[in-house]
Amino acid sequence: MNDTKSNAMWGGRFAAGPDAIMEAINASIGFDKRLYAQDIRGSRAHAAMLAAQGILTDKDAEAIREGLLTVLSEIEGGSFEFSTALEDIHMNVEARLKALIGEPAGRLHTARSRNDQVALDFRMWVRDQCDAAIDGLTELMTALVAQAEAGADWVMPGFTHLQTAQPVTWGHHMMAYVEMFARDRSRFADARVRMNESPLGAAALAGTSFPIDRHATAEALGFDRPSANSLDAVADRDFALEFLSAASICAMHLSRFAEELVIWSSAQFRFVALSDRFSTGSSIMPQKKNPDAAELIRAKIGRILGAQVALFTIMKGLPLTYSKDMQEDKEQTFDAADSLMLALAAMEGMVKDMEANRPSLEAAAASGFSTATDLADWLVRELDLPFRDAHHVTGTLVAMAEKKGCDLPDLTLAEMQSVHEGIREDVFGVLGVHNSVASRMSYGGTAPEQVRAQLARWKEMLG
């Protein structure tokens, strides 16, 4: 087959042939330029340490410091020209530094490899994302607490299997998500503690013969300590996997809440009204108000969980230490972090803006025989029935009410006594939804008093 024709078939847009293809597959600057701030910060710390150790002259160290600040300013100002031929952010920065200060730039890479350099940059970037996620979750939790406080004693149906189960309070439901997102926040915080070890100084894989001070660079870059094994330092991507794991669980929680908002804002439920800021109209149906923000949040778990699976797949078969496969660790992590932060911000906005429809919530709470468990509990407590017997009596009364087309409180005392003669007039005191929720005084229960106690605890913790 003709070589030109062959290249056209498999080379596609790479008109220059294999060299262009290799450059395209090898280069990472298209995405790892996001690491510029971490790369320059790490280089500044490394240069300062080399000077302190007498490996670099103070004059060269100062030239490097000033040159790196200029590069940083150019990137942030948008005037820096990134080159695919220079492969990655490290070489792009170093090449520009050399153009600015000349020969001293070549001394910056003393006692360092791109292996520990990229491990450092990526680790610092992920650490920053943990901090951002913690802040975003704190803001969302604060918004949920405000919703819970406004409706601490508003009744609504609690569901199992999306079927009416027992009455709960709006405040209690909101606080359930506070607990979920608090666990997410703690996962990011825990992951941050584990990843806070500096790989800088591990060099290519074996460490270096230069008398460097890894503790000094670790401290300068905000790490608790340097990593203890040079092989592990350059081979490790657990920090990214932990971040993606925490992000996936958090996205799952966001998706569950988003699903409820989609259901609750429907014409069939009317539990909440979402603001126009987080809804869209229909191109053909003028009456529609679509909860698009909630639906998109619900979908973000796919991208975030996909990123986690992708990185697990990349890492699972790699021998120690560095392999080029690991260049594929960043794009999906960047995308997952962006998706998570966008979802957190959108959910916080929806929670702040949404208005709960108290009459609809209360009407729904009283439907579906939601106080049946309260009746069974009353039979156990007041008539000393075994719970299984009380369950049977209550089921019979529910069937009776269902046949009459009414709810339990609408049955007459005589009708109830026809099922069990011991039932007394005071049974009606437990059948109202407000009485039901007020009685749930166990720690962590839905009683308004318990909800307010949890609110006070969380308001103190959130500051």
Active-site annotation, residues: 161, 282
Handedness of CA 249, 252, 257, 258 (dihedral sign): positive
8 Å CB contact between 123 and 199: yes
Strand partners, 280: 290
Reduce the DSSP state of residue 254 to 3 states and report it.
helix
406 φ, ψ (degrees, to nearest 5): -130, 180
C-alpha 200/C-alpha 83 separation (Å) is: 25
Say whether 305 sits in a helix, a strand or coil.
helix
Q: Which residues contact 37 (CB under 8 A, 6 or more apart)?
A: 72
Pick the closest to residue 252 from 302, 214, 208, 209 (CA basis): 302
Could you count the other beta carbons within 10 Å of the beta carbon of residue 319?
6
* Distance set, CA 389 to CA 394, 395, 431 (Å): 9, 10, 19
Helix (H) or strand (E) holding 189: helix 170-195
Tokens of 387: 């719970």
- What sign does the CA torsion over 71, 77, 78, 79 have? negative
Token couple for 153: 């004693």
Question: Which H or E element spans position 198?
Answer: strand 197-198
CB 185 within 8 A of CB 138: yes
The span from the CA of 179 to the CA of 454, in Å, is 10
**How crowded is the C-beta side of 214, counted as CA atoms within 13 Å?**
23
Q: What contacts 364, CB < 8 A, 6 or more positions away?
A: 156, 157, 164, 269, 271
* 272 phi, psi to nearest 5 deg: -135, 155
Give me the numbers of helices (H) and strands (E) for the chain, helices first please: 19, 6
